[in-house]
Amino acid sequence: MTPALVLSLLVLAAATLSFTRWLGVVALALVSVLWLAVNGPVEGEVLWVVGPSMGLTGADLAGLAGLGAAGARASWLIAPRRH
């Protein structure tokens, strides 16, 4: 899969997250992990060096944001509602 297609899927999954409940959480988490795996060709500058050949890039932030949004939505779905 090309990085552009995966990034488009990530944006679509994030945009529909509030309508899709658990299916959206799982889809966004999976596409976010897929993005982290395929974003190599579009990675930009290294923002934070983790090791000699590893670091956090600007492209990685989209995947991390997707995982964060999926986690936040999951916690909202799990938490008891107060009326």
What average pLDDT does this structure show over 34-58? 93
Q: Is the pLDDT confidence value at 1 over 80?
A: no
DSSP 9-67: HHHHHHHTHHHHHHHHHHHHHHHHHHHHHH-GGG--SEEEEEETTEEEEHHHHHHHHHH
What average pLDDT does this structure show over 47-66? 93
Q: What is the mean pLDDT of the chain?
A: 93
What average pLDDT does this structure show over 34-63? 93
What average pLDDT does this structure show over 35-52? 93
Q: How confident is the model at residue 83 (pLDDT cuts 50, 70, 90)?
A: low
Task: List the structure tokens of 68.
Answer: 């964060």
